[in-house]
């Protein structure tokens, strides 16, 4: 037995005469692990920060004597100068632009996904899918420029300058749909691809055509993944800021005419915070109230989408 | 026969017993027809997606050059007085023209700011052009319009701007890249914005890369399956879906206001005294770091997960500790994936506009940022501000700035793809 290093071996006089292989304390590893844990927890701090700071400023807004909670949720006028804070004009514009975006993105996105997954050759798919993902990676300010300087003039030349205002929700919505299209098509395509091919083979064996296999076998089997993609798309549309800030108009407007200018929740935040704004004014605090609502909306949608994805994964793995 | 086919789709037609094979064939025809119709629909949808991308890029290129109607206070041709044209003159020839046409005070200011000896021919030319000739872009046309409707444009210019010249302008040129921001679209450049973007990106990388990688190592290598770690994981997935503008509000409340002594630099005594608030490059960088952190973590986790377990087992088998295993075996193998993911996340931060507007990008600065406590602007912010201006020419320089932004993004993404193809190993 080696006895060169008594620290590593138990003394022979002791009754337990075996090697001490207990790991020695490594202080630097403990420190490193501490940093790793801190980094992991950091994301929770971010969430707490969002809830805390947004909540705090929003609370200041709601407890202000000039503001009533009932008016906030039911009022149809948003004019901070005269202390009218009804969120409905901003909310209706947000819903309208998201709705238009989804009307573009859902049908197109699903068709593209079905085509790429079920019809296209692997080579074609290998070219088109990255191309669409480039579209998803284009900064939204570029798409805002596109909406204002291409889509709006196009709409105005088709429908006439009297019907379509220079700033309008419609062109912002369409371009937002173009932005969300790749998101939906990419996620849907992944979901369709994950459907086991035995299901397809079975359906072909029964004499189904390609369309029938796609729409009556593959799509229903992947429906939860598709639903998750759509919900995520809606969440993205609600939170999208630059396209609507540039193209949809500056000024809250309670309307259901998509060709009129109207300001969304995100657009309002961008416009007001971009100007000179004094801290702790009612105007400033109201932005946080809007942001908190936005956060809650998108959080709920994201959680639903993740729940669906998790269920979907369990089905096929 | 034709009559039979017309009724083929009625499943319970009285002919069922006598002509079942025929009925089946008829049905098959309509099913195939429906199949091919829908195939065309699917194809058209895909084509629409591609057309959207192509239109977008064409539209932007289309705006970066074209004819512009430019009116001069004093046309360069009269200044040159019949000799060689202005842009070919030397500095010595140009200086008298400048001296003759601006006030004595102005000339002194110019000489103080830019000593004559330090000027190149191009600088002198620009001085004469902008100080004396004072061009103003009245109306601009896109490239396609310039090519196909030249006569019409000429007629418009002759009618509306009899004094003006029709010049072909390439808006995206060298002086656009190296000039600072300006009120005049003919002189405005994007140097300030590019520098601001680069400063911000450096902070984003310095901050989000270590924390992001550490968090992904923790979640993949150290975290046990318990409630606490599941909460962290769910939380990160949720944060990845929070709209960017919310991060802007968080940055405004935390970095700009709450941590103002730090982010404005006053705590260290090196802040910019003229602004002395938290709307600095540091705040912007930290805000965008928070924004991309979840994405960096998720991508890092995927890269670490792809390292096969056998490597770890072999390392443990040789007696390595946990950290030794992670540092010497897991990380080197996961690094290409981690870098690719980080670069993609950073390129997202590069294009973000809304959070920076909220955090308080400066609306107009002409000087380059000096340190991280300077006021800032960035390329997307600049595009946003130019897009919002009503004059024609601002739309052209916005398009030029977009091209610059897209090229920078393309370089970032190409690096990421190269890294992935070069170093990624399949196990």
Residue A112, min C-alpha distance to chain B (Å): 5
Q: Please report whether residue A268 resides in a domain.
A: yes
User: What CATH number is associated with residue A98?
Assistant: 1.10.3720.10
Q: Tell me which residue of B369, B215, B219 sits closest to B281, measured CA to CA.
A: B369
**B99 vs A144, more confident:** A144
CA distance B156 to B164: 11
Cα angle A141, A142, A143; round to 5: 90
CA distance B412 to A301: 31
Q: Tell me which residue of B344, B345, B409, B355 sits closest to B384, measured CA to CA.
A: B355
**How many domains would you assign to chain A?**
1
Residue B59 CA from chain centroid, whole number: 16
Q: Please indicate whether, in this complex, the C-beta atoms of A211 and B38 are within 8 angstroms of each other.
A: yes
Given a cut of 90, is residue B171 above it in pLDDT? no
Given a cut of 90, is residue B28 above it in pLDDT? no
- Domain B191-423 classification at class level: mainly alpha
Exposure class string for B1-31: b at 16+ Cβ within 10 A, else e: eeeeeeebeeeeeeeeeeeeeebeebeeeee
Q: Please report whether residue A23 resides in a domain.
A: no
CA distance B142 to B131: 28
Range of weakest confidence among A225-234, B33-42, B276-285: B276-285
pTM for this model (two decimals) = 0.85
Q: Tell me which residue of A217, A274, A220, A219 sits closest to A242, measured CA to CA.
A: A274
Given a cut of 70, is residue B337 above it in pLDDT? yes
Q: Please, what is the angle between helix B379-387 and helix B191-217, to 10°? A: 130
Residue A141, min C-alpha distance to chain B (Å): 6
- Stated as kind and residue range, the H or E segment containing B283 is helix B281-305
Which residues, 6 or more positions from B169, have their beta carbon under 8 angstroms from its beta carbon?
B65, B66, B67, B68, B137, B140, B396
Structural domain for A270, as ranges: 78-316
Place of tokens 């089997």: A221
Query: How many other β-carbons are positioned within 10 Å of the β-carbon of residue B118?
Result: 7
What's residue B4's pLDDT? 46
Query: Is residue A84 helix, strand or coil?
Result: strand
What's residue B203's pLDDT? 94
Q: Please indicate whether, in this complex, the C-beta atoms of A298 and B243 are within 8 angstroms of each other.
A: yes
**3-state secondary structure string across B134-167:** CEEEEEECCHHHHHHCHHHHHHHHHHHCCCCEEE
What is the band of B113 on the pLDDT scale with cuts at 50, 70, 90? confident
Q: Tell me which residue of B74, B46, B64, B88 sits closest to B130, measured CA to CA.
A: B74
- Stated as kind and residue range, the H or E segment containing B66 is strand B65-72
Q: Please report whether residue A21 resides in a domain.
A: no
Q: What is this model's ipTM?
A: 0.87
Kindly state the average pLDDT of the residues B189-213. 92
What is the band of A3 on the pLDDT scale with cuts at 50, 70, 90? very low
Residue B161, min C-alpha distance to chain A (Å): 24
Query: pLDDT tens for residues B41-91?
Result: 999 999 999 999 999 999 999 988 888 888 877 777 666 665 666 666 777
Find out whether B272 and B373 touch, Cβ atoms under 8 Å: yes
Q: Please indicate whether, in this complex, the C-beta atoms of B354 and A116 are within 8 angstroms of each other.
A: no
Q: Please report whether residue A41 resides in a domain.
A: no
DSSP B226: S
B166 forms beta bridges with B69
Per CB-CB distance under 8 Å, the chain B contacts of A240 are 243
Whole-angstrom CA distances from B2 to A139, B8, B357 are 57, 10, 69
Q: Please indicate whether, in this complex, the C-beta atoms of A115 and B399 are within 8 angstroms of each other.
A: no
> Would you state the structure tokens that stand for residue B246, as one six-digit string?
């919310």
Find out whether B296 and B416 touch, Cβ atoms under 8 Å: no
Which residues, 6 or more positions from B258, have their beta carbon under 8 angstroms from its beta carbon?
A53
CA distance B130 to B28: 75
- Domain assignments of chain B as residue spans, ordered by start: 2-50, 64-170, 191-423
Q: Please indicate whether, in this complex, the C-beta atoms of B46 and A112 are within 8 angstroms of each other.
A: yes
| Average pLDDT of every residue of chain B | 83
Q: Please report whether residue A73 resides in a domain.
A: no
Q: Please report whether residue A292 resides in a domain.
A: yes
């Amino acid at each position: 037995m080696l006895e060169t290093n008594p620290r590593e071996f138990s003394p022979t006089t002791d009754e337990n005469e075996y090697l001490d292989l207990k790991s020695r304390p490594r202080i630097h590893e403990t420190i490193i692990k501490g940093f790793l844990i801190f980094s992991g927890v950091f994301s929770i701090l971010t969430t707490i920060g969002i809830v805390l700071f947004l909540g705090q400023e929003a609370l200041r807004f709601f407890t202000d004597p000039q503001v009533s909670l009932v008016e906030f949720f039911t009022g149809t006028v948003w004019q901070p100068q005269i202390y009218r804070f009804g969120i409905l004009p901003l909310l209706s514009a947000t819903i309208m632009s998201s709705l238009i975006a989804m009307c573009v993105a859902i049908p197109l996105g699903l068709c593209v996904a079905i085509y790429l997954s079920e019809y296209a050759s692997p080579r074609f798919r290998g070219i088109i899918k990255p191309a669409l993902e480039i579209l998803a990676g284009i900064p939204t300010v570029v798409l805002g420029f596109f909406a204002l300087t291409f889509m709006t003039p196009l709409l105005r030349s088709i429908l006439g300058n009297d019907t379509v205002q220079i700033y309008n929700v419609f062109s912002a919505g369409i371009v937002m749909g173009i932005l969300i299209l790749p998101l939906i098509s990419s996620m849907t395509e992944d979901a369709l691809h994950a459907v086991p091919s035995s299901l397809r083979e079975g359906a072909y064996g029964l004499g189904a055509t390609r369309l029938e296999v796609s729409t009556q076998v593959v799509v229903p089997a992947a429906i939860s993944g598709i639903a998750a993609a759509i919900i995520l798309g809606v969440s993205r549309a609600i939170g999208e800021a630059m396209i609507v800030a540039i193209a949809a108009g500056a000024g809250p407007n309670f309307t259901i005419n998509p060709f009129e200018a109207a300001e969304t929740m995100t657009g309002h935040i961008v416009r007001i915070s971009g100007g000179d704004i004094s801290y702790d004014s009612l105007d400033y605090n109201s932005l946080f109230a809007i942001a908190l609502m936005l956060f809650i909306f998108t959080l709920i949608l994201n959680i639903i989408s993740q729940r669906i994805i998790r269920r979907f994964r369990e089905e096929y793995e | 026969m034709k009559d039979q086919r017309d009724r083929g789709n009625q499943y319970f037609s009285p002919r069922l017993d006598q002509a079942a094979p025929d009925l089946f064939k008829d049905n098959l025809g309509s099913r195939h027809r429906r199949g091919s119709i829908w195939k065309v629909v699917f194809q058209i949808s895909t084509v629409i997606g591609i057309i959207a991308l192509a239109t977008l890029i064409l539209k932007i290129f289309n705006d970066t050059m074209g004819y512009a109607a430019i009116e001069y206070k004093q046309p360069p041709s009269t200044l040159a007085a019949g000799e060689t044209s202005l842009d070919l003159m030397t500095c010595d020839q140009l200086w008298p023209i400048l001296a003759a046409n601006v006030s004595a005070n102005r000339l002194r200011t110019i000489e103080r700011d830019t000593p004559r000896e330090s000027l190149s021919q191009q600088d002198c030319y620009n001085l004469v052009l902008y100080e004396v000739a004072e061009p103003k872009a009245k109306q601009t046309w896109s490239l396609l319009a310039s090519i196909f409707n030249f006569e019409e444009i000429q007629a418009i210019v002759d009618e509306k701007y009899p004094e003006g010249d029709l010049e072909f302008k390439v808006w995206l040129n060298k002086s656009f890249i190296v000039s600072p921001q300006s009120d005049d679209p003919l002189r405005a450049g994007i140097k300030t914005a590019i520098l601001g973007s680069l400063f911000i990106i450096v902070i984003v990388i310095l901050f989000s890369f270590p924390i992001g990688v550490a968090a992904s190592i923790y979640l993949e290598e150290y975290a046990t399956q318990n409630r606490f770690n599941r909460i962290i994981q769910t939380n990160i997935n949720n944060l990845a879906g929070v709209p960017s503008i919310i991060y802007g509000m968080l940055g405004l409340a935390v970095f700009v206001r709450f941590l103002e002594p730090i982010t404005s630099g006053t705590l260290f005594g090196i802040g910019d005294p003229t602004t002395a608030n938290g709307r600095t490059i540091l705040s912007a960088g930290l805000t965008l770091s928070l924004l991309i952190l979840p994405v960096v973590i998720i991508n890092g986790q995927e890269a670490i997960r792809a390292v096969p377990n056998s490597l770890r087992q072999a390392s443990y088998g040789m007696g390595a500790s946990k950290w030794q295993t992670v540092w010497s075996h897991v990380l080197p193998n996961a690094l290409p994936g981690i870098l690719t993911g980080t670069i993609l996340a950073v390129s997202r931060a590069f294009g973000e506009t809304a959070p920076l507007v909220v955090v308080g990008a400066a609306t107009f600065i002409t000087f380059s940022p000096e340190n991280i406590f300077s006021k800032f602007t960035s390329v997307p912010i600049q595009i946003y501000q130019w897009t919002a201006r009503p004059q024609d020419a601002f739309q052209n320089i916005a398009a030029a700035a977009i091209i610059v932004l897209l090229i920078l993004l393309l370089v970032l993404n190409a690096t990421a793809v190269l890294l992935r193809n070069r170093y990624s190993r399949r196990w």
